[in-house]
Structure 1
Amino acid sequence: MWSGPPQPDEGLPTGLSAVSVPWKNLGPSKGHRESPGSLVENPASRKEAQGEEHSAAAPLDVSRLRSSSMEIREKGSEFLKEELYKAQKELKLKDEECERLCKVRAQLEQELEELTASLFQEAHKMVREANMKQAASEKQLKEAWGKIDMLQAEVTALKTLVITSTPASPNRELHPQLLSPTKAGPRKGHSRHKSTSSSLCPVVCPTAGHIPTPDKDGKELSALVRAAVEDNTLTIEPVASQTLPTVKVPTVECNNINTCALSGLARTCHHRIRLGDSESHYYISPSSRARITAVCNFFTYIRYIQQGLVRQDAEPMFWEIMRLRKGMSLAKLGFFPQEA
């Protein structure tokens, strides 16, 4: 007897379901009664039916498993493809962003380099202009100081070699070394001014047989003149003939005749010298004046070179020095321009 549908076996996989198979319900026939042997054979037939049921359900379950696994694989591959596409898209966007940022960085670096270069150029330009202005200012200052030094030297030289058109007459009381010319009187005998006879030096005309006796001899005066030339303190002044002091001596005519303080010779003296700040004057002859002026010109030019006032090359300065030395040699030999 069939008590109901067969239950699935507990040992089968969970994915497999038992297939219901219709069973025939064979009841007892009217003319036959069930025998005990038939009742014994029912369990065996039942087992055979179950085995046939299981053999028919197995291919169906395998096909279902295969189809489900294929669907899972397809869905997984589609999901992975979608994820891969999204990742590739994101990477592409990131690459584009990186490329854009690189371009921006390169542009900024280029602008920074251009700005730095322009700043350095401007700074170099400003420094160059400042250096040029400073050099020009220093040059102008140096030229100004040179002009000042030159003017000061010229002023000193002019003070040393000053020439006055109307010199004052020397005071015979303050300058006893001056020689006094004599002048013959129209009457017999001679007369001397009493107010000046005591202060005049004992000097008479050489024709009277006396020799001039200055305070210092020629060698000592020459040494003093040389020292004054080296110290740039010598002064030469012209003396007009009408300003020369005269002393009347009987029967002696000595107008415009004086004795040179350096050579001791009787020569017409048109100039006199003064040493430093001293008030004493010494009359000198034209030859002595030429020699002194030649030496003074030489020393003045050398002094200008030492002070940096002569802005020439070495060769022109050498030839100028040779010219000045030639002038000294000619003056020493007695060749000098004659004065009118």
Structure 2
Amino acid sequence: MWSGSPQTDEGLPPTLAAVPVSWKSVGPCKGHREPLGALVEASAGEKAQAEEGPAASRLDMSRLRSSSMEIREKGSEFLKEELHKAQKELKLKDEECERLVKVREQLEQELEELTASLFEEAHKMVREANMKQAASEKQLKEAWGKVDTTLFTEFQTWRASPTLDKTCPFLERVYREDVGPCLDFTMQELSALVQSAVEDNTLTIEPVASQTLPTLKVASVERGSTNTCALSGLARTCRHLIRLGDSESHYYISPSSRARITAVCNFFTYIRYIQQGLVRQDAEPMFWEIMRLRKEMSLAKLGFFPQEP
């Protein structure tokens, strides 16, 4: 309570403290009254919630730790399995590499042995070739002392201007001594036809098995037969046929007749090669090859020829 009258400043409102206020007790608002028990229960619930919060947090953390440990364990097992697989694959690769190394070493050793063997065989062949060449040269020198120089002179003259004219001295001698006697068969008419076909290079010899026509024309023989030679007229097993030029006539021939015809054909083939310039040798090797072919004609004429299997 103020004992004196309040002092006011002129022109200003009075202060709150200077305003008299009557105080009275004011109770709680009727609209906001709550039972005491509800308040107690709410207070207890808040307390319980406050107490359960840390426990739930600890439970969640424990679960997280457990899940993390489980993930780490599974990851560790997976990595261990992968490592085991990788180690196993590496071991297999190491074993394969070792096997390949052994194979390579074995191949290298075999290659070295083969190379050495080939070199040895090559040297052996060279030595044998040199020995054969020396022996051939020796035989050639010995043969030159026995050869009729007239034959070689006739050959050299023919070689200077090769021809198939049988009136030249060289071929006239070969015809008289080898070709004529070799193709002189019992069936004279067919023999002459055969010689003409050989000279013209129009004679064909083929196996009987390749001939499909059963009916054949044979000179001086009643019927063609695989048991009768058309040239000699003798009963022989005939395994070949001859055809002259473009004629459709075929003739069965025995192995002996075939050998004689073949020997003459080989001689004419060689001298044709010389005439065409296909044989590029010195005079001596050519002459000795012709002498060898003449020897074959002489042997075939006498009935000496390789027997067929």
TM bucket (normalised to shorter chain) is: 0.3 to 0.5
Higher relative contact order (CA 8 A, sep 6+): 1
TM norm structure 2? 0.35
Higher helix share: 2
Larger radius of gyration: 1
